[in-house]
Amino acid sequence: MSSLSAEMTAAEMAEPPKPGRRPRRWFGFVGAGCLVAVGYTDPGNWATAIAGGARYGYTLLSVVLLSSVMALFLQWIAARVGLVSGQDLAQLCRARYGRRTSLALWLLCEVAIVATDLAEIIGSAVALQLLFGVSLPVGVLLASALAFAMLAIQLIGQRSLESVVAAMILFAGGCFIAQLAMANPDWHAASQGLVPRSEIIANAGLLWIACGILGATVMPHNLYLHSNLLRTRGQAMASRTVEHMKQALRATHWDTSLSLAFAFCLNASLLILAAAVFHHHGYADVESLGDAHRLLSPLLGNHWAGLLFAGALLACGLSSTITATLAGQAVMEGFLNLRIKPWQRALLTRSLAIIPAMAVAILGGDSETTSLLVLSQVILSLQLPFAVIPLVRFASSAGLMGQWRLSGPLQWLAWLIAGVIVTLNMVLLWQVFSGA
């Protein structure tokens, strides 16, 4: 069993069923959603949400909502495929596609993981700079080192890792609640922002940020990770009867839904905060995390606002490093049948991501970090179809999924989401290359 295995789950589920033990029996399927959801709150989300809220007010809240709904549905499909088939998305691609196609999909996913790690390095470095006054290059080095400290928690156990990650995200949530209370947003205007507008597609600037939000919310490597986490937990089931599978799927559904709903609240809070503070006061050009931090306290009239912002950013940046590393393990193991230790995987991705991060930190400084963060999320958006289309195909396969396959309205919805993602990316590319 790989390093992503759930040993506690195996021991727990090997026990015969006992009266009154059902909640404990299926507790083993809870927690994967937390690890996946943390990837939806990484610093890349911060950059796109702050840029979108400051420039366009509450307009892009509809994109955050729709992206979160799509992410929830796709993560539910990924978990379902892993649990039912006993294989994760990467393994299925290697088994069912030709070698060239499989290798191409692997390389594309690795690009997405490096882009994610880049966002996490820069975000954590900015947070360390804001909290402790270190230079941005030093922050980049410290953030890279702290990633290995986070991974050391996994040596204690998977449950310990999930608990620490959950605690950090709850801390970030508390920080956002406090900041929103200080900002006192226009909740009526925010509710109107949840309604999609055609100008998002027509306006090149809006679409660029929208695709960044899409890439930051529906993250391709998270689909691989979620299917892997549920594959290992599904393999630990002592019985795979229809009733037991229904219960496992139900537990997975609630775990995924609640975790991603919380991630949506964090992302929406970021955009609402930027709209209520920066856009409302005429600071539409606020894009960098440093500028946001510097302006929050004076505009809100509370010195705690900036500290809460930086603390939440650091918590999100450090915890999301776990997602990227575990996803990298799952992808490398699934596509290449190559198993390496978590620290080795982290060293690989961090080595590739630290070069552009350090270059921007030294040459561009704070003014360029947000542009790189948004670009990294647009790269994720462009990678999405190459993960979503295989996922929907496998989930719809009767030979692979049996009675648990997607069919009817669910299948049509899955293909509709895939179509929306592809269309948005095609429009974005057309606007970029045509100069529209």
Least confident of 112-116, 387-391, 426-430: 426-430
Give 318-362 pLDDT, tens digit per residue. 888 878 888 888 898 899 888 877 777 777 776 777 777 777 667
3-state class (DSSP) for residue 91: helix
Give residues with Cβ within 8 angstroms of 160, minimum separation 6. 153, 154
Q: How many CB atoms lie within 10 A of CB 126?
A: 31
Q: Is 428:378 a contact under the CB 8 Å cutoff? A: yes
Length of the chain: 436
Instruction: Give me the pLDDT at residue 72, please.
Output: 92
Q: Is 346:148 a contact under the CB 8 Å cutoff? A: yes
Helix 289-300 with 43-56: angle, nearest 10 deg: 60
Instruction: Give me the pLDDT at residue 9, please.
Output: 36
Q: Name the nearest CA neighbour of 379 among 117, 115, 119.
A: 115
Instruction: Return the higher-pLDDT residue of 205 and 386.
Output: 386
Torsion of CA 37, 43, 47, 48, to 10 degrees: -20
In the chain, the N- to C-terminal Cα span, in Å, equals 51
Give 225-276 pLDDT, tens digit per residue. 999 988 877 766 656 778 888 888 888 888 899 888 988 998 899 999 999 9
Give 137-191 pLDDT, tens digit per residue. 888 888 888 877 777 777 777 677 778 888 888 898 999 899 999 999 999 999 9
Least confident of 50-59, 196-205, 317-326, 387-396: 196-205
pLDDT at 416 over 90: yes
- Chain-wide mean pLDDT for the chain? 81
69, burial (CB in 10 Å: exposed 0-12, middle 13-18, buried 19+): middle
pLDDT at 10 over 50: no
pLDDT band at 18 (very low <50, low <70, confident <90, very high): very low
Instruction: Give me the pLDDT at residue 413, please.
Output: 94
Question: Whole-angstrom Cα distance, residue 316 to residue 249?
Answer: 28
Q: Name the nearest CA neighbour of 42 among 140, 118, 142, 108.
A: 118
Tokens of 132: 């402790």
Q: Is 234:83 a contact under the CB 8 Å cutoff? A: yes
Give 83-106 pLDDT, tens digit per residue. 999 899 999 999 999 999 999 999
Instruction: Give me the pLDDT at residue 4, please.
Output: 40
Q: Is 58:277 a contact under the CB 8 Å cutoff? A: no
pLDDT at 294 over 90: no
Question: Whole-angstrom Cα distance, residue 94 to residue 334?
Answer: 7
Give residues with Cβ within 8 angstroms of 311, minimum separation 6. 127, 131, 171, 175
The radius of gyration of the chain's CA atoms, rounded to the nearest angstrom, is: 21
Q: What's the predicted TM-score (pTM) here?
A: 0.83
Instruction: Give me the pLDDT at residue 63, please.
Output: 87
pLDDT at 302 over 80: yes
Helices of type H across 203-283 = 204-217, 220-235, 242-274
Question: Whole-angstrom Cα distance, residue 49 to residue 13?
Answer: 41
pLDDT at 404 over 80: yes
Give 378-396 pLDDT, tens digit per residue. 777 788 899 999 999 999 9
pLDDT at 13 over 60: no
Phi-psi region of 31 (alpha: psi -120 to 50; beta: other; left: phi over 0): left
Instruction: Give me the pLDDT at residue 25, please.
Output: 52
Give residues with Cβ within 8 angstroms of 103, minimum separation 6. 335
Residue type, position 311, single letter? G
Instruction: Give me the pLDDT at residue 162, please.
Output: 76
Q: Is 324:88 a contact under the CB 8 Å cutoff? A: no
Question: Whole-angstrom Cα distance, residue 210 to residue 423?
Answer: 13
Question: Whole-angstrom Cα distance, residue 17 to residue 152?
Answer: 34
**Residue with the two structure tokens 């049948």:** 337
